[in-house]
Amino acid sequence: CSMIYARRIVITHSEKPEIWTWSSIYEPQNEVSIEVAILNEVYWLDIRGTFYTSKLTPETKYEVVFVVKLEETASGWEEPVNLSLKLVMRDKSEVLQEQTLCLEDYICDEWVDIRVGDFVAPPEDALVKLVFIMNQYDDTVRKTGLVVKGVAIRAVT
């Protein structure tokens, strides 16, 4: 499993403490402290990142998931978020997977996996860039209570 923690992905306005707060948590399975991003309040949500497949086992199926928590007090998640996974090939051709998902169903104050998509890792000599995105641009609904740990890329058995 490859984990891209919150500090290594792009979270729009994460540098503004009135919108996002950064907090350290201890992750016992890896015996490390990591930083998570806690959403205080935002209308316009945009979280994205990239990952190159060179570190993955060729011809293996992987899934990409956002690892998040929605606190019991979370609000504004009635409207679905957009999730997309784009595979950008060396020749610049692209494969895109898109879906929408209502996060309101995930309010439980526990870490959950929000699946973005899946893919089969290419041969080692065929470098592919993954672009993963979670966004929602409904500027009439104030969203709160999302905690972002990061994005996991793991083999599917």
Q: What are phi and psi of 24, to 5 degrees?
A: -90, 140
Least Cα distance to 132 among 84, 88, 89 occurs for 84
Its pTM stands at 0.93
Instruction: Give, in order, the Cα–Cα distances in Å from 64 to each of 14, 34, 44, 52, 134.
Output: 22, 20, 23, 13, 12
Task: Check residue 125 and give its pLDDT.
Answer: 80
Task: Check residue 127 and give its pLDDT.
Answer: 85
For the chain, the domain total comes to 1
Take residue 101 and report the two structure tokens written for it.
């998902």
Non-local (6+) Cβ contacts of 143 within 8 A are 39, 41, 42, 43, 45, 74, 75, 76, 77, 136
Q: State the residue range of the domain holding 34.
A: 2-155
What CATH number is attached to the domain comprising 66? 2.60.120.260
Task: Check residue 126 and give its pLDDT.
Answer: 84
Residue by residue, pLDDT tens for the chain (157 residues) are: 899 999 999 999 999 999 999 999 998 877 889 999 999 999 999 999 999 999 899 999 999 999 999 999 999 999 999 999 999 998 888 899 999 999 999 999 899 999 999 999 998 888 899 999 999 998 888 999 999 999 999 999 8
Task: Check residue 131 and give its pLDDT.
Answer: 98
Non-local (6+) Cβ contacts of 136 within 8 A are 44, 45, 79, 80, 81, 82, 143
Q: Tell me the one-letter amino acid at 5.
A: Y
